[in-house]
A and B are shown apart, each in its own frame.
Chain A
Amino acid sequence: MNRLYKYFIFSLVSITLLCASSCKKDFLEVDPKGYLIAKATADYEGLLNATQIQASTTSIYLSDETAAQSDYFGAASVTTQRTFQFSDRIYNADQLPSMDYLQSNYIYNKVINEVMASTGGTEKQKLQLKAEAQVGRAICHLLFVNDFALPYKESSAASDLGVPIITTAEINKTGFKRATIKEVYDFILKDLNEALPNLASISHPFKASAAAAEGLLARTYLLMGKHSEALSHVEAAFKLLSGSFPVKLYDYNQTLAPNGEWQPVGFFGPSTPSMSEDKEVIFMVNRGVFDFSSANTFVTTPETGMSYDPSDFRLLFYSDTELFGSQIFPAGMKSITGFGRNVGVGLADLYLMRAELRARANNLSGAVQDLETLRKNRMPVNVASVPVATAGNRQSLVKFILDERIREFALSGMRWWDMRRLSVDTEFSNTVKYTHKIYNANGAVVQTFALDPKRFALKFGEKLLAENPELIENP
């Protein structure tokens, strides 16, 4: 018995010794440096600081101001070739369509769902961060629905298939189902309207502001064909332009003058400010416009190329010569320079939107005023004014404004959204061209492709369908 007792004591002492080194509870409670799990409000702010939205590039190759050159067509990737050809199939069965904005959407969902429970921030800060994320989520869904669903048509929006509405940051989720187009647009409007009261003024091109939300509401209603609502929101956006980051139009007459600050103009266009310093941007959504292999392939149509006044400074953002070469493109066709364009909320777009909406609402003088404000900053004043005959006619003024949008945004893919909404606009559907042409070195058309309106909705492709059995493919 005594012996057993001794064993017991020895064991007890030794086990105590054993644990002394590392049984402390906090031994394992260390976070590896350089990594963290979001807990504080500041962490969520940090997440939003670094989240930017990329629009997919397919719109560039679908827009009707885009033409292709036969000499360079083969250099383009098969995907862009098919896109330009309005093919039913763009991606191979094992490829995914580009939906980079959904990765940003993951972060927005994370912030929306978690920030209110975060620590260390005031209620106001949390609400603002949540609102900023809601703006981001709204844009992501707007980009998403405009890639994969037909244009919004009031008569059928409640039954036409839109895209899945993604509201959780959850990696294991499968079985996504498409909501109707109306549900998607309602979701976008809801996010923007909920966000509005909590948003701050403009402080940075990548930070969502109240002006950005109003601008997006205007864009959304415009895409839905609800022009009066769009007009009231675009007006509201204009009222919110002041802030710590003053938004203004650049006067190209100065910046692009021979000794202007954007000179010289190189291979990649004028030396414009970086995206985060661009004063015309209200909320930046970047669309990459440079693709090395197809840099000379896609150009404006001859009509678009020739529609600029020769003294229009916007021509400096386009090139009539092959990249790194000396070949001049035929028939006035021009390629885009630079690397990216803002397709989010920008001041030029606001002016053009308001001009169009005012013109549609028969406020022709107001429309002309907006139009000329923009044009005066883009070209010498003597050619900036709108022709009198156009300025006095609603129909031709709207058409002029739509053409001005092409000149302002050529080859940035913005036109694709205009084409989509105009295709279902009874009044102006005739402004949409349903053909793509390939030109040879002499400027002659060698091939023509027709756009089937059902291709306003891109296909998801076999891979996404296989991943999501309940997903219904576009016809």
Chain B
Amino acid sequence: MKYYAFNRGVCRYFSITPKILLIMKLIVVMLTACMMQVSAATFAQKITYTQKNSTLEQLFTAITKQTGYYVIFAGDKIDKNAVLNVSFKNTDLKEVLYTICTKSQLTYTIDENNISLKPKNESFLDKIVDIFRSINVRGRVVDKSGLSIAGASIKVKGTTKTTTTNETGDFYLADIEENSTLVISYIGFVTRELTAKADVGNIRLEEAIGELEEVGITVNNGYQTISKERSAGSFSKPDMTVIAQRSTSMNILQRLDGLVPGLVVNNSPGATENPFLIRGLSTIGTYDQFGRRAVQTNRNPLYVVDGVAQENIAAINPQDIADITVLKDATAASIWGTRAANGVIVITTKKGTGTGKLTVNYDGFANFSGRPDLNYIPRMKSPAFITAMKEIFPDLKAANSWGKISQLGSVPPHLDILYNNPTTIANQKLDSLSAIDNTDQISKLFYRNSLLTNHTISVSSGGKLYSFYGSGSYTGNRSNTPGNADNTYKMNLRQDLNFGDRLQIFVITDLSNQRSSALNNFSSNPFGDESYYRFITRSTYPSIVPYQKFADDNGNPIPVNFLTWMSDPVRRNYENLTGIDLSYSPLEDVNQGYYDNESISARIVGGLRLKLFKGLRFEGTYGYTSLSSNGRLFLDQNSYEVRRELLDMTRINSDGVAEHFVPETGGRLTENNQSNRDWTVRNQLVFDHSWENHELTVLFGQEAMERKSRISRTVLRGWNDQLQTYLPVDYKYLSAGLQNNVTGVNNILAPNFVGGDLPLSRTTSYYSNLSYTFARKYALNASWRIDESNLFGRDKSAQNRPVWSVGGKWTLSNENFMKDVKAIDMLALRMTYGVSGNAPQPGTAASYDILKSDVLGSYVTGQGLILSSPGNAKLTWESTQTLNLGIDFSLLGTRFGGSIDGYIKKTDDLLGNLAVSAFTGFQNVVGNFGSMENKGIELNLQSINLQSKNFTWTSGFTLGYNKNKVTKLNLLGTITTGSQMVAQQYVPGYPAFAVFAYNYAGLNNQGDPQIRKADGTITSDANSSLAEDIKFMGTYQPIWSGGLSNTFQHGPFELSVNMIYNLGNVLRRDVNDFWTSSSSYIGYATSPHEEFSNRWKVPGDESNTNIPRFLAATGLDGQRNTGYYTSGDLNVFSASFVKIRDLTLAYSLPPRLISKMKAERLTIRCQLSNVMLWKANDYGIDPEFHYMSQSAGVRSLRTGQNAVTIGAHLTF
């Protein structure tokens, strides 16, 4: 039975709110529904009948009498009087029928009330049918000395069929495909595999050597693995079958969506800093001046792979992963110390099994996800666009002379036409533009169908002394950008050595090589710098003026000069002065350069386990990961970027001659190098002892860690890519700025080298962990850990903050008084409490002023020290207290099980931008600025709804409810104005990621936006709103999230449907943002939101529209507040949605057919991913692709929706 996801419990700690009541009602409904399914599906008829020389007729009369089934003899070839000797005692009907039919050369079928008997026909067809024939298996599991083992689990490999041995160690499995593999396991014994046959006899299990891993459901916290019964912690294990089949991403974390209650996978482009949140946000961190979150504290969980913390999770091949455990509460996670406040995801990779058999697996898939739908971005199409531009032109012209427009930026064709032609001619020209639509061309030229493929071959084997698991894989990621390539090759090998039962050693070597390349993609370059010279990037292409084509009818590239910052008159002037061609054709420019990057990463983990004395052992884990990457971006001398730089570095001398300060020939080469090296050394002593009813494990250890990285970027100009040579440039002269160059701006040439060592981080930690169980009824867990790091500039006193936890568990079902409650197989209550923390990264915040070096021409010596972050003497660690209560249960012969957890998580001394008095010289500093609270409930249910001969239906349901509240914020002063309030994400008394909005009151008769204030008055005054006038709309982090999976198995077919849902959050809508003469001029080159057509135009429109008027004069625009509209309550919508994350149909070829291919198993699958089932909004917005800035929402193109995957899995 695939029930690994036991965890969590009910929480009586909370006051019961109506929402919780609702959940409970839902649970009851679900439970009832499942139990009904169970009763419908169960039939276990027993026969007792002993008779020598009984005729078939006599025998079946007795069966009819005992079971109610009527027996039909089909055809006259059956001899009803044939005699046979039978002896059944309380035997299963199926077994009885099987026995009889085997003896009498008959076959049988059972429908509702009848048993039909047919003679066995040995025709050719029968032989084919025979291949699919199923058998019934019986056997007994015993130990070394032949004593029977009760409760051992027998699983049919590759299916959901399982059973357990009874009190005498016997088991019986009906309808098993012949030659399928049985997996027999029991805690404390080595798992065995053997081929199924009717009677497998006594299966002898060997005792596990050194208790390497406990069989059954275990908790692996990265330091130790203990059985689930002994852990009071809250943990979840996702369904690995679903994970193995998900094909939309090769990042394992992306594949966890909806499978782990309490883990929110937020794919929205705005959630880049917290794509994976366990139990809500517990740290805020700080933002830099651009509104990007600075690396102060980490919001994401800690990722642990094979016992070693690792950041680069994407480098792990999901096919190599054996097990994932998500640790959520203090007891589960606090052994990881300060880094565990956001939860821990523990990943274990596969290892060879000690069966002595060589197993070869192949898995491959191709995921086709098409090209994005450009029409998803709601932009005006040509006719509407041209009409609107004509409408606003008089106003635009009045506010902006042609001189201003043409000198300051580029001028798209429609503006050129409007400014420089009499109205009638202009209208004619514009009419021809309005007939052109470029959507198809953009889609065709700048996008392509994307394809993700992966092929993994793994080999594993092993005996008593040595076992191994090795895999090789290839991943090809063909993105939807033409010309891009991204291929990854991986090798992974794990070897396990057993030197008797004293010493075990394992070594994992995991190597990856990623090669990617791209063309010069007229967008942000691959190093993340936006081009200085073109204001259109790839992401804005769909919104470019809708009439602009990029290629003519014959496919030849067209220059689109307005995509640069220059108007035609300015460009021609520069061209004449300098002789540099400044035309720009995006399609041609794509081929004027290339980018390629190669990275090699290695993960080497070794470990040993040495038995020192009875019960006492030493364990060591040693991890080393390294990544080095080298990337080259070459831009040809004909690329626009290089030509434009040449212009900026050109001066016209007094004699009129153009003097160039960067090479005129050759391109520009940018080389990026990056290397990361991390190591971890962990030594621990474990005392493991059980006596009578007691089980005790005590662990004490020490761990040291170092993280080191270096990046560098070198720029070479005048680069000849053929000869690999460059030309010299006078950087010293140009670093002070080229005075009086052609473009009139003092242009500084940036240094040709940047980089160096990034701050080194080191940690030493001491930790201890205890788990004690009495009679497998009462379990006690405790842990303690202290971390010390080289956190720079920190008072030592701020470091010594140990994290700890305690927890207890009571397994009720093991109590004697529960023995008689047959319906309950397992019931346990858990409670844990603990404290963990979070610290800023080195160099980012400190008790003392941290300085860094800076170079600037105007500094006294050209070089100096600047303040990187002002010291905050009161800085201390963030600490999080977590209380967790949980119930685990398993009912009705383990057909239905699950867990319910409730938690309260309180974070104090939040690290973030603490506002300080501006008189100090600063407005804010990294400090401890508040407290936050998370409360939540998590639910995990697994059930086998139907299990019959040919059909199995299983379900899994996860639900996470998280209520976050910022309880305290040390704000200096109070938030007084409405605009301040609307810009807040964190306000005391409200959840984090809060969305505030103006109470919009429509437009006034001038077309300017109005709000309703708290006192009921309506105003359009731009500055009059106060904090109390602002409405709280909700939070943009999902409150309810989870998934529902259903798997249907019918013979060789398996259909699984996994749905995910995110509910209860809100987002701001994307609305028109073109209100005035644009100062950035991007407004003129792009097409506004299609709602621009519906803006207020003449008095009276205010009764039909909410969209403010266009006002070209920036001064007038400044006297109203368009934010009232864009950040108004009318533009906040519910972001709830339900999606089918994947729908998979798999077909396993019958084992007999496969065995003829010398294979064991072949499954082919077809998957459909990301199908929107329901969304709460009517705007057609997919919340997973919606970005939200503080003032408005932004749609980004949808990718990977309705993708189709074809895959296969083959086992030899």
Contact = CB atoms under 8 A, between A and B. Distances in A.
Contacts of B737: 274
Given A324-B408, A462-B976, A276 B1115 contact: no
Nearest to B759: A32
Interface stretch (A170-178, A345-353, A424-432): A170-178
B20 interface: no
Nearest to B761: A32
Contact of A52 (B613, B858, B871, B979): B858
Contact of A174 (B760, B865, B917): B917
A465 B973 CA distance: 8
A15 interface: yes
B919 interface: yes
Contact of A92 (B972, B1023, B1119): B1023
Interface residues of A, number: 90
Interface in A128-183: 164, 166, 169-174, 176
A207 interface: yes
Nearest to A19: B702
A307 to B, nearest CB: 28
B868 interface: yes
A22 B788 CA distance: 12
Contact of B865 (A7, A49, A75): A49
Most chain B CB atoms below 10 A, which of A22, A32, A33, A204: A32
Interface stretch (B188-196, B427-435, B680-688, B1188-1196): B680-688
A104 B866 CA distance: 10
A171 B870 contact: yes
Would you call the interface of chain A mostly helix, strand, loop, or mixed?
A: loop
A290 to B, nearest CB: 11
Contacts of A442: none
A164 B872 contact: no
Contact of A18 (B701, B736, B761): B701
A11 B612 CA distance: 9
A176 B917 contact: yes
B403 A326 contact: yes
Most chain A CB atoms below 10 A, which of B864, B873, B1119: B864
Contacts of B921: 102-106, 166, 169
A387 interface: no
Interface in A304-356: 322-327
A456 B26 CA distance: 69
A236 interface: no
A21 B683 contact: yes
A49 B860 contact: yes
A14 B865 contact: no
Interface in B354-413: 401, 403-404, 406-408
A106 B199 CA distance: 86
Contacts of A164: 919
A274 B849 contact: no
Contacts of B764: 22-23, 27-28
Interface in B734-763: 736-737, 739-740, 744-746, 756-762
Most chain A CB atoms below 10 A, which of B702, B790, B858, B977: B858
B683 A171 contact: no
A171 B860 contact: no
B492 to A, nearest CB: 26
A21 B704 contact: yes
A169 B852 CA distance: 17
Contact of B923 (A35, A78, A96, A107): A96
Given A22-B702, A92-B1023, A107-B867, A327 B401 contact: yes
Interface string B793-818: 10000000000000000000000000
A336 B557 CA distance: 44
A298 interface: no
B620 to A, nearest CB: 9
Contacts of A324: 403-404, 406-408
A207 B759 CA distance: 31
Interface string B1193-1206: 00000000000000
Nearest to B406: A324
A317 B740 CA distance: 15
A347 B613 CA distance: 87
Interface in B826-857: 842-843, 846, 848-854, 856-857
Interface in B916-971: 916-923, 925, 927
Nearest to B746: A274
Interface stretch (A40-48, A214-222, A410-418): A40-48
Contacts of B846: 37
Given A22-B764, A28-B762, A32-B792, A7 B917 contact: no
B423 interface: no
A467 B574 CA distance: 52
A293 interface: yes
Nearest to B848: A37
B67 interface: no
Contact of A36 (B757, B851, B916, B1114): B851
Interface string B724-738: 000000000000110
Contact of B976 (A203, A266, A325, A466): A466
A172 B918 contact: no
A73 B613 CA distance: 88
Given A106-B921, A468-B917, A35 B850 contact: yes
Contacts, number: 262
Given A17-B683, A47-B865, A94 B979 contact: yes
A206 B859 contact: yes
B372 to A, nearest CB: 36
B973 A463 contact: yes
Nearest to B851: A36
A361 interface: no
A173 B914 CA distance: 12
Most chain B CB atoms below 10 A, which of A15, A23, A38, A46: A46
Contacts of A386: none
Given A37-B851, A103-B921, A275-B858, A466 B973 contact: yes
Contacts of A466: 972-974, 976
A30 B917 contact: no
A456 B1055 CA distance: 79
Contact of B858 (A43, A166, A206): A206
A324 to B, nearest CB: 3
A103 B739 CA distance: 29
Given A171-B925, A206-B859, A274 B736 contact: yes
Given A49-B863, A74-B1116, A94-B976, A99 B684 contact: no
A48 B854 CA distance: 12
A271 B849 contact: no
B683 A18 contact: yes
B241 interface: no
Nearest to B854: A50
Nearest to B403: A325
Contacts of B980: 94
A46 B865 contact: yes
Contacts of A107: 867
A34 interface: yes
Nearest to B919: A176
B860 A102 contact: no
B289 interface: no
A110 B849 contact: yes
B797 to A, nearest CB: 15
B1118 interface: yes
24 contacts: A18-B701, A21-B704, A22-B702, A31-B790, A32-B761, A33-B758, A34-B852, A35-B852, A36-B852, A49-B865, A75-B1113, A81-B1115, A92-B979, A93-B977, A103-B921, A106-B920, A171-B871, A171-B920, A207-B860, A266-B744, A268-B744, A274-B737, A274-B746, A326-B403
Pairs A-B, 6 closest by C-beta atoms? A74-B1115, A50-B864, A466-B973, A32-B759, A324-B407, A22-B704
Given A18-B683, A171-B916, 14 more contacts: A19-B702, A22-B702, A28-B789, A33-B758, A36-B851, A47-B864, A47-B867, A50-B854, A96-B918, A107-B867, A171-B920, A174-B917, A204-B860, A206-B858
